[in-house]
Structures are given as C-alpha cells and as structure tokens.
A and B are shown apart, each in its own frame.
Chain A
C-alpha cells in the first residue's frame, strides 16, 4: 500500500545531497505542510523520506559580507526574533508576524515556505521585494555543488519551483538594504494571522527627497505564484510620490494582476484590493 521504503535523517549536507541523487526523495523540515498534506493523501511521500533537521549547515542567521544569510531551517519565530533581521529587514519581521499561529511559526521553516511555493506564502512577498536569492546544493558528480538563483525566477506554479529533484535549498541570501531603503508589507485577511491572504502586497525602494527608485513591487494570491509587478514598478520608478503618481500606480497595479475567483474572494474584489492597498501603502510611504 505504501511505496515509502526508507527514512533517513542525515547529519551533514554532503550526506543529504548524496541521498537526493536518485531524485525519489521527499524532504522533511518543519513538517507543518508535509504532515497534514501526506496524512490527507494530498501529497504522496516518495521512496525515501529525508529529515534534514539534523544538518547544522542549514541553520543559522548570519551576516556574510553585504548579505544576510538565513539558513533554510530557520523557523519563522527565529527569524522574527533575530537582531540582524529586526535591524535590517523589518519588512520581513512584519510579514512573519502575520504568519499562521505561534505554534506553526515555532515549527515552520523559511526553506519550507519557499519550497511549498504557495501563491499566498507569507514570507515570499517581502523576500521578493528585498531581492532575495536562494542557494541550491546538489552533488552532480562526487562533489558538492552550490548555485544561486534569484527568488523572482524560482517559482513556476502553485507548489512548483525550479528546484530540481536532486537539489536542496540550503539558504536564502538577502542583500543589506542601502540607505534610504523603504519597504512595506500588507496582508489582507480577516484575522491578524492564521489566515490565508486574500491578497498580499510588498513594496520596496529607495526614497530620496521624495523620489522613489529601485522600486520593487510584489503581489501574493493574485496569480499561480507570488509575482513581481513590473508595470507597477515602472509606473513608480524615478517618480515623486505625489497623489497623481500614487493613483496612477494603483490603477496600473489593478490592471496588471490577473487573479481568480476562489472561496476566499472573487477576482474583482482582489483587483479592487490591489488598487486600494497599493494606494494606501504608497501614501504611507510618502507621508513617512
């Protein structure tokens, strides 16, 4: 009845990627998605279940040069509490604060949130506007191989990413924001957290003398993946954040997204909310 044949809990990265070589492996980290999904039969566990929680290289939050490295096993609670994140990436703290419940934040990992690739994934929107990249490890030959990929190109569809079956996401790297960097996140739902977003919005950029540049805008729950909004970014890039710009950008944002109807909201309402909340965030940024 069950094709699961092996349970492994490797203690080093080399062992883990070695094991991934045959590609028929289900990876277990925090377990907050995999456990209920597999219990309900929505996800079938493959030939091997590999628990990566005992691999020290996958943990920790550190400053490496001009980047903050967050290990794939860092839990949402650890990220929220970490001084580096609190100092440099308050927008990520904000998003984590709207993530599920305390119990889930204590278990869920950043790597898990990324690899589950939910269109409404709470950490994904701030990471996108922070220009985060993911590091992937594999063992094509006998040697450990690592490469990076911008998060903005990582997602393919709901639950689908560019990670190959032989790869493991080891960490996320986020460049230290430059001076004048502003970033905001808003999750629309009826509860403070424990809620799947109706929509979520992240906006970041450098604000100097009222002009916004290096603009990054990302939307959640309006497409099969979390998405960067290039038209909206264009409408804002290099512009003074006055009422006309804000209204124009909000209108562009509404036209740019192509959401669907589901049990949480209609496409029409989602477009309206993209407009209204984009406008609200930009107004706050302008007034700040």
Chain B
C-alpha cells in the first residue's frame, strides 16, 4: 500500500481535510481526489502551464507540487475565481478578445494571468508575454491572449 497522509488546507476559500497518497501531485489530488476538473493535465512536467493554480498568492504548476505540500496553505483553482470580480473581468476579456479556441489551456492561462494582474507584473505587452511564457497554447498564437490580459491590466505596447 502506498503511504497516505492527512492534510488540511484552504481550497477556494473553504477549509478542507483530505487524505492523499504522499507521492501524489497536487494536480491529481484536485482532479481525482477532490473532483475539480478545471485544472488540466497537459504534460506533467511543468512545461505547459495547463495545470496552473495559485498557492499563497503566487501561481504554481500543480503538477510540480506534492499534494502533501498543500498542507496549511491557501490554494485557489479556476473554480475558486467564480465569484471574484477581478477574475470576472479577465474571463470576460478572454471571451471578448477571442482568446479562447479549443480552450484546454485557458483555465491555466487565466490562473497565470490573474496572478500577473494582481501582482502588477504586466505594465507592457512584453512583460505579459514573458509572464505567460510557461503557458503553451496551440490554437491562438497567443496574440489575442496577450490583448485580453493587456485590456484588463491597462498595459501599453
């Protein structure tokens, strides 16, 4: 039997307790144990950003994080942005700017963009592009994603 461990953490504003395999990553915990499927598996190696979540206010790849390491921390997933007006603006911008095609990268992209907007790291389009360099998109060519983020952050070229 694989080693289990109990953890307690805040997920999308709600305290919860979960028993996880010690070797499991946070992505698998979110999707398979807790059942929140908005966070996507794209590569499992931190190269694509589809699994981006926020932990204690910064963005991370949930595939690069042990589930046990969520213990005591504050975790936000795409589902946790549902009632957040700042995130609403970002989501609307993605829709209005045509930044969504197949949509598979979109939740991770929005989690990263939300982190960038909140931390004030997108004053110009070059820093937005650098800010999402860890998020791969195969459909859009990124331009409309950058436009969408810039429209919310007020970035200039």
A interface vs B, CB < 8 Å? 1-2, 4-7, 9, 28, 30-32, 34-36, 38-40, 45, 49, 51, 53, 77, 100-104, 106-107, 191-194
A100 to chain B: which residues have CB within 8 Å? Answer: 46, 134
Cβ-defined contact, B64 with A107, below 8 A: yes
> A1-B2, A31-B64 given as contacts; is B69 within 8 A of A39 (CB)?
no
Residues facing A in B10-41 (CB within 8 A) are 22-23, 25
B46 to chain A: which residues have CB within 8 Å? Answer: 32, 36, 100-101, 103-104
Cβ-defined contact, B3 with A103, below 8 A: no
Q: Which of B5, B22, B68, B134 contacts A101 (CB 8 A)?
A: B134
B52 to chain A: which residues have CB within 8 Å? Answer: 103
> A2-B23, A4-B22 given as contacts; is B3 within 8 A of A107 (CB)?
no
Cβ-defined contact, A31 with B69, below 8 A: yes
Residues facing A in B88-126 (CB within 8 A) are 112, 115-116, 121
- In the complex, given contacts A107-B65, A194-B133, what are 8 additional A-B residue pairs having Cβ atoms less than 8 angstroms apart? A28-B69, A32-B61, A36-B63, A39-B44, A49-B22, A49-B23, A51-B69, A101-B46
Cβ-defined contact, B66 with A77, below 8 A: no
Closest to A194 in B: B133
5 smallest beta-carbon distances between A and B, as pairs: A101-B134, A106-B58, A32-B64, A36-B45, A7-B22
B136 smallest CB distance to A (angstroms): 9
> A39-B44, A194-B134 given as contacts; is B61 within 8 A of A107 (CB)?
yes
A-B contact pairs, 14 of them (CB 8 A): A35-B65, A35-B66, A36-B44, A45-B23, A53-B69, A100-B46, A101-B135, A102-B132, A103-B46, A103-B61, A103-B134, A104-B64, A193-B130, A194-B134
B interface vs A, CB < 8 Å? 1-3, 5, 22-23, 25, 44-47, 49, 52, 58-61, 63-66, 68-69, 71, 112, 115-116, 121, 130-135
Cβ-defined contact, B65 with A5, below 8 A: no
Cβ-defined contact, A36 with B3, below 8 A: no
Q: A32 CA to B45 CA in the complex, in Å?
A: 8
